[in-house]
Amino acid sequence: MNYKKLGNTDLDVSTICLGTMTWGEQNTEREGFEQMDFALNQGVNFWDTAEIYSIPMREETYGETEKIIGNWFQKTKKRNDVVLATKVCGNTSNKYIRGGGNSFGKKKITEALDESLRRLKTDYIDLYQLHWPERSTNFFGDYGYEHDENDKDWTPFEEILESLKKFIEQGKIRYVGLSNETAWGLSKFLELSKIKGLPKMMSVQNPYNLLNRTYEIGLAEISIREQSGLLAYSPLAFGYLTGKYRNNKLPAKSRMQLFKDFNRYKNENGQKAIDEYYKISKKYNLDFTQMSLKFCEIQHFTTSVIIGATTMEQLKTNIESVNVNLNSDIINDINKIQQKYPNPCP
């Protein structure tokens, strides 16, 4: 396994991060336990979850993934072997999440953290992340930003950081990060942390894969210069970059077969790009899944790549991607496809 520092901390995290959002929906608790046992044995010490998991979001499964992880900690007594990351959601219309609305105000974010700690059966969280902004901005695949002068009903960044500082002082969290954030949002948080002596955002969990390299525009430079690295989610683009959906295939129990609304990566240019990348993997005798993951891992701005698997076979393939080598010829071929089909699936 490979390791990198989380931000500018002394914390070493595996460059493969165990994603967990299927546990409680597509995966049972027993299967989640099996994944955690195997991943930790392979040197994967970094796990990511969220209060809203499992996915897709449903009231019936809200918090279920955190409960499964907490039960594993209780059973194995291995909490201290894991760097644990979870998230508090931003503005939401789901009334079952603290009545809906914004979640980063002092009262609600305190409730959210305490609820996560209870479900996870732990006294502390290593990395506490803001899952998406409260303000209106472009994330979750939106290209265009439409500014709304009337959008002022969101918690000031300084107030959020003050709450997070309090949690750190209380020993409830160690470090903080962002998710689904923009270059402006990250830069403002970093600016305030320097000026006001408040906690620094150590990471940004955003989508990054061969079909969506938009993180390279703006955010990548900030990540490198400010030591606030990317935690790349959806590195396999909902499974499209494994090749299993090529030629209109729809495997049983796959995410796209079960949840047809997840269509971010289903468009004409995206499918053409997938076929081109698949050809590259065959040209160099590489596993397509592993080539896709390794490309994300080797980026200078990437701290860790979040993998999600529903079967042990998938998990093993994903973790073994750390042993793949992408030489300059492979990278050049990949970049030629990016130039031909630039970010077809934002």
As annotated, the active-site residues are 53
Question: Taking Cα atoms as reference points, which of 127, 164, 129 lies closest to residue 46?
Answer: 127
Helix (H, G, I), strand (E, B) or coil at 103: coil
How is residue 217 written in tokens? Answer: 């525009």
| 328: Cα separation from own chain's centroid | 27
- Rg of the chain taking only CA atoms, in angstroms: 19
β-strands 229-233, 201-207: how paired? parallel
Read off the tokens for 116: 């996560």
Are 23 and 30 spatial neighbours (Cβ–Cβ below 8 Å)? no
**Hey, what amino acid is at 223?**
S
**Which tokens sit at 294?**
């390794």
Residues ≥6 apart with Cβ < 8 Å to 252 = none
